[in-house]
Amino acid sequence: MSTNAIDLDIVREHPQGLETEEMTLNMGPQHPSTHGVLRFVVKADGEVMRRAIPDIGYLHRSIEKIAEKVGYHGFMPYTDRVDYVSAMQCNQGWAMACEALAGITVPRRGEYCRVIACEFGRIASHLLSVGATGMDIGAVTPFTHAIREREYINDILEELCGARLTFNFMRIGGCAWDLPPGFTRRAIAFLDRFEPLIDEFNELISFNKIYVERLADVAVIPAEMAIAYNLVGPNLRGSGVRYDVRKDAPYSVYPEFEFDVPVGTGERGTVGDSYDRYMVRMREMKESCKILRQALAGVPEGPVVAKVPRTFRPPAGEAYVRVEASRGDMGWFVVSDGSAFPYRVHIRTGSFAAMAVIEEISRGLMIADLVAVIATLDIVAPEVDR
């Protein structure tokens, strides 16, 4: 019988007439499978969870308040820390919000450089996600394969901007650096080698019988629930909802590229289960490779950054922009009072929304399944607390 179907009102009786008691367990905040400083208070009847209650705030750094104190240019390095696993999209979100306030147009070459950086970052983020999912469930070898490819991407990004994790690559008006000599050739060589490896990774772990049984039909999130809880990105698309900011609210030069938006199909279980969320990320890596090949082949000539005053004082007003980050729709809201410092900043992240649904979908699951739930939702602690 599926763990989802267990009646939580059943009182288990032992031959001696004793009744079981509900246990309260702590998972985290320093637990290897929580992917950061997260804590869950688990109410369980034996191995069956009644509730898994997220307890957040252990990594809160007041990063939005810091923006008000360091100014528009000075906040760019801090944006890397919003999602340190996929920092390029955070750079782009902040730059776009500032550009919207001031009416700045980014040179086309700068936009292409942004897309190239962000799509490499998306692949790197998804590699960490799918590799860690296997390791959390008990398969260590796939993680080493995924992290190896991520390191090759880090080499490429290091060549681009000098950093491997927190990049500080983008600027208000474009990018800090142009593509270095030979970058396109080395990037395409990586794609030629990496794309076939996605299929090999699927054969190694994705289609493994035990792995499928650990994820299929576990923690199903129907489309209606995903929308009600405001899930975004692969977590929303895993429930069969075909929504991607790059397609549905286009920005930068994404409308110029041909790519698909993978969604969950219930291929090994039920639409919206943990396996669908995992496979959406596997397929998104191939789509990012498509975008990268088109972008690398069509990089236009010209500057990569517009002329922006060193002391940036956008006119009074407000702006809200959205980017399709690795964990979905990331919103950047900025209010300007006309000074060199933002009046207010707020960041909307996918991981924060994903935390809310865990309590709902954890009812009736086994304790061991909570690890799979956290992994396939791809929650990153800095996005939750900010």
Summarised one tens digit per residue, pLDDT across range 299-331 is: 999 999 999 988 999 999 999 999 999 998 999
Average pLDDT, the chain: 89
Cβ-Cβ contacts under 8 Å for 96 (sequence gap 6 or more): 251, 252, 321, 323, 332
What are the φ and ψ backbone dihedral angles of 82, each rounded to 5 degrees? Answer: -65, -45
Q: Across residues 123-143, what is the average pLDDT? A: 90
Question: From edge to edge, which strands make up the β-sheet containing 344-348?
Answer: 317-325, 328-336, 344-348
Sheet hosting strand 39-45, strand order edge to edge: 23-27, 39-45, 48-55
Q: How many CB atoms lie within 10 A of CB 176?
A: 18
| Sign of the dihedral defined by the CA atoms of residues 302, 300, 85, 229, in that order | positive
Q: Evaluate if residue 279 carries a pLDDT over 90.
A: yes
Task: Name the band, by pLDDT with cuts 50, 70 and 90, for residue 18.
Answer: low
Q: What are 240-250's pLDDT values in tens digits?
A: 999 999 999 99
Mean pLDDT lowest among 22-31, 151-160, 199-208, 322-331: 22-31
Report residue 9's pLDDT band, with 50, 70 and 90 as the boundaries: very low
Lowest mean pLDDT among 4-8, 96-100, 372-376: 4-8
Please answer whether residues 353 and 7 qualify as being in contact, where contact means their C-beta atoms are separated by less than 8 angstroms: no
pLDDT confidence bin for 127, thresholds 50/70/90: very high
Query: Hey, what amino acid is at 144?
Result: T
What pLDDT, on the 0 to 100 scale, is given for residue 11? 47
| pTM for this entry | 0.90
Domain 64-385: give its CATH code.
1.10.645.10
Cis? peptide before 255, omega within 30° of 0: no
- Give the pLDDT of residue 33: 63
Contact (Cβ atoms closer than 8 angstroms) between residue 312 and residue 173: no
- CA 25 to chain CA centroid, Å, is 28
Q: What is the pLDDT of residue 16?
A: 61
Least-confidence region, from 3-17, 25-39, 290-304, 350-364: 3-17
Average pLDDT (139-166) is 92
Q: What is the mean pLDDT of the segment spanning 261-275?
A: 89
pLDDT of residue 173 exceeding 90: yes
Give the C-alpha separation, 351 to 383, whole Å: 6
- For residue 307, the surrounding DSSP H or E stretch is none
Query: What residue spans in the chain does CATH classification 1.10.645.10 cover?
Result: 64-385
